[in-house]
């Protein structure tokens, strides 16, 4: 079963809505990590700035303070950022500021050492960006900004026909290729895992045959609605009349088609309410915000809809309808609806019966 689902996921292309949900989910789960990356980057930059400023004899200028203040402000803004696409832009601003700051610092060290430190700075920034939850356009923009700001051939004594230039170009190509490959593979693996978890969750809460919610899903959602306790709650339990005879006479394949057809009618007419297949030929609907007349109209219309469905194997349904009182649990409401359903089945079928205390006494 798991292998089949995994194969299905691998063959599918994640829809745009799922990709957007994935990006937002990843950012929300990685916000603290992003803040950590920003803080570590600021710390490394500050240490390097202090080394160059004092050991290099440059002094700690107001420009260094301005860069520090800007990066700290961006880190604080990150703490209030809630949308992943906002982080894409914020990360680009941070990369632009820190790489410009690196460039200005490296300009203050001996020219022979600049290419080495520029490449080290580029490697650090690109690695940091590759592990952050940013979209492709933001990642490639950050890569372009980094190489533009920390270009090891600008303001150095390297000529393009030198051996050192050839080595730097080879390393730049290798580094860029490695970072791009790692970023894309990590994103693909994360998206696959997210997609897989969504499919498994759907499998756990959706009835495979009828493709409507199953008992587990209904119990969880209806329980939450019951706790809210709004006025006008009704529970309807539905059973397909003579379903066993359909299975015995025409086979289980036809029985499955009947189940699917009834589920389609429920889904089409009860879209505003919680509904599910409880198991076998039984379905359930949880109405909220209706008075008795409204709930009765809904179940009457459903009975009529199923009855008038012209097909090769027509069926009818019986429905037990019960009002959910404020003191009722979901289990108690299901028992009431089941008692009303029993009465509907034994009083002619193809109808609904509203639960009364008389039915409880006769049960």
The domain that holds 300 is classified in CATH as 3.30.70.270
The residue whose two tokens read 């198991």 is 279
154 shares a domain with 39: yes
Q: What is the pLDDT of residues 31-62, one digit of tens each?
A: 999 999 999 999 988 888 888 777 666 666 77
Has residue 336 been placed in a domain?
A: yes
Average pLDDT over residues 160-167: 79
Q: What is the number of domains present in the chain?
A: 2
184 shares a domain with 331: no
185 shares a domain with 134: yes
95 shares a domain with 38: yes
16 shares a domain with 89: yes
Catalytic annotation, pick one of 26, 274, 281, 343: 281
Has residue 168 been placed in a domain?
A: yes
160 shares a domain with 254: no
Has residue 208 been placed in a domain?
A: no
Contacts of 42 (CB under 8 A, 6+ apart): 68, 71, 72, 75, 98
Q: What is the pLDDT of residues 198-233, one digit of tens each?
A: 777 777 888 888 889 998 888 888 888 887 766 678
184 shares a domain with 36: yes
Question: Is 281 marked active-site?
Answer: yes
DSSP 214: B
Has residue 210 been placed in a domain?
A: no
Distance CA 329, CA 297 (A): 24
Strand partners, 287: 234
- Asked which of 173, 203, 233 is the last residue of a domain, the reply is 203
- Residue 268 sits in which domain range? 215-362
304 shares a domain with 198: no
224 shares a domain with 198: no
HSE at residue 251, side-chain half, CA atoms within 13 A, is 2
Count each helix (H run) and each strand (E run) in the chain, helices first: 13, 5
179 shares a domain with 274: no
Has residue 259 been placed in a domain?
A: yes
Query: For a pLDDT cut of 70, what percent of the chain falls above it?
Result: 92
Retrieve residue 68's tokens.
């520090």
């Amino acid at each position: 079963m798991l292998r089949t689902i995994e194969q299905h996921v691998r063959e599918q292309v994640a829809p745009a809505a799922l990709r957007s949900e994935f990006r937002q989910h990843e950012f929300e789960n990685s916000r603290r990590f992003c803040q950590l990356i920003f803080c570590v980057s600021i710390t490394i930059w500050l240490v390097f700035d202090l080394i160059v400023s004092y050991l290099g004899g440059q002094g700690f200028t107001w420009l260094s303070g301005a860069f520090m203040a800007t990066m700290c402000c961006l880190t604080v803004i990150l703490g209030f950022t809630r949308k992943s696409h906002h982080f894409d832009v914020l990360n680009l601003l941070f990369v632009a500021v820190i790489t410009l700051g690196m460039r200005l610092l490296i300009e203050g060290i001996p020219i022979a050492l600049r290419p080495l430190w520029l490449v080290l700075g580029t490697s650090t920034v690109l690695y940091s960006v590759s592990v952050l939850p940013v979209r492709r356009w933001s990642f490639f923009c950050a890569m372009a900004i980094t190489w533009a700001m920390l270009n090891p051939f600008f303001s150095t004594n390297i000529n393009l026909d030198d051996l050192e230039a050839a080595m730097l170009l080879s390393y730049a190509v290798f580094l860029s290729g490695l970072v791009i490959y790692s970023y894309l593979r990590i994103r693909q693996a994360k998206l696959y895992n997210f997609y897989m978890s969504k499919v498994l969750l759907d499998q756990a809460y959706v009835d495979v045959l009828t493709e409507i919610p199953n008992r587990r899903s209904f119990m969880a959602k209806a329980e939450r609605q019951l706790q809210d306790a709004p006025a006008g709650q009704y529970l309807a339990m539905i059973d397909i009349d003579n379903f066993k005879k359909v299975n015995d006479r025409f086979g289980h394949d036809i029985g499955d088609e009947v189940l699917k057809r009834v589920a389609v009618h429920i889904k089409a007419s009860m879209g505003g309410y919680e509904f599910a297949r409880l198991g076998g030929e039984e379905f359930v609907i949880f109405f909220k915000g209706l008075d008795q007349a409204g709930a009765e109209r809904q179940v009457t219309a459903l009975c009529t809809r199923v009855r008038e469905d012209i097909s090769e194997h027509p069926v009818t349904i019986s429905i037990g309808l019960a009002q959910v009182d404020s003191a009722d649990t979901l289990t108690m409401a299901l028992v009431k609806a089941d008692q009303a359903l029993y009465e509907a089945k034994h009083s002619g079928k193809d109808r609904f019966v509203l639960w009364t205390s008389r039915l409880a006494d006769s049960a």
